[in-house]
Amino acid sequence: MEGSEELVALPPSGDAHGKPPPDHECMCTMEDITEEDGNYCEYQSAPSMRWHPSKYCAAVVRRLIHKQFPEYVAGVQKADCHADLKRRIAKGPPVWLEDKHALPIPEDDTHICRVWMAADGVEYSAKLVGCKEGEEREALWEELKNFLGPEEEAAEDSAIDDATRGMKLATFDAKPE
C-alpha cells in the first residue's frame, strides 16, 4: 500500500486536531483506530474548512487518494449495469477524495480538500492522484459518456409517447351478469 510520503504535503493550516473517539473502528478493515496504532486521520471539508474524524483508518484513506480516480475510470469502462454506468457518468470524473459513508461532509460543503495523518502530524491534499481538472476533465468526461451508447430508454419513451398521443384510455365498468 502506498505510503504517506507519496501524498502531497501542504503547509499546516494551523488548526488543532483531535484524537480518535473511544472505540473508533475502521469501516473498511474493521481494525481499531487508536492513538497508539497511529492509524487515526481527519479530513477537512470545504468551503467551511472544518475538520472531521475519518471513519476509515489512515491506510485506507491513503489508498483511496491513490486509487479512487483510476478505479472510477475502470468502473465506467467495465460497467455491466446501465443504471450504475449512468450514475457514474452523471457525477463525472472525481477530483477529490470522497466516501459518503465513512467521510461524510456537511450539507453546505462541496468536497474534502485536506487530510491529516496523526502518525506524522502532516496535512496532505485530498486531491486524487491522476485526476483531471478543467478542460482535461471535461474532455475525459465527454469520452466516458460514449460508454453510455445510444439512449435506448429515451428513444423507447419517445416512441411510446408518439404512439399514444391523442389516444384516450377506455374505462370499463365491470358489472356482474
* pLDDT at residue 133 is higher than 50: yes
In whole angstroms, give the CA distance from residue 52 to residue 46.
11
Pairing assessment for the beta strands 122-125 and 50-53 based on DSSP bridges: unpaired
Pairing of strands 41-46, 122-125: unpaired
Give percent of the chain with pLDDT exceeding 70: 81
Whole-number pLDDT of residue 10:
97
pLDDT of 166 strictly over 70: no
* pLDDT tens profile 18-63: 999 999 999 999 999 999 999 999 999 999 999 999 999 999 999 9
Higher pLDDT, 169 or 71: 71
Provide the pLDDT confidence category of residue 148 given band limits of 50, 70 and 90. Answer: confident
Instruction: Write the DSSP assignment of 73-105 as a string of letters.
Output: HHHHHH---HHHHHHHHHH-S--B--BTTTB--
Band of the pLDDT at 155, cuts 50, 70, 90? Answer: very low
Q: What integer pLDDT is reported at residue 151 of this predicted model?
A: 64
| The length of the chain, given as a count of residues | 177
**pLDDT value, residue 6:** 82
Q: Is this prediction's pTM over 0.85?
A: no
Q: What is the pLDDT of residue 149?
A: 77
Average pLDDT value for the chain: 86
For residue 98, is pLDDT > 70? yes
